[in-house]
Amino acid sequence: LTILQKPGMEHMAAFLAAEGVDIVASLPCYSSANVEKQRGNGVFLDSIKSLQQLNTLGYGTGALELDLVYNPGGAFLPPEQSALEATYKAK
The per-residue pLDDT string of the chain (91 residues; one tens digit each, 9 = 90 and over) reads: 999 999 999 999 999 999 999 999 988 877 788 888 888 888 889 999 999 999 999 999 888 999 988 777 777 777 787 877 787 788 7
Crossing angle of helices 43-56 and 32-39, in 10° steps, is: 110
pTM for the predicted model, two decimal places: 0.81
Burial of 86 (0-12, 13-18, 19+ CB in 10 A): exposed
Task: Quote the CA–CA distance of 49 and 52 in Å, as a whole number.
Answer: 5
Identify the helix (H) or strand (E) that includes residue 26.
strand 23-26
Task: Quote the CA–CA distance of 63 and 51 in Å, as a whole number.
Answer: 15
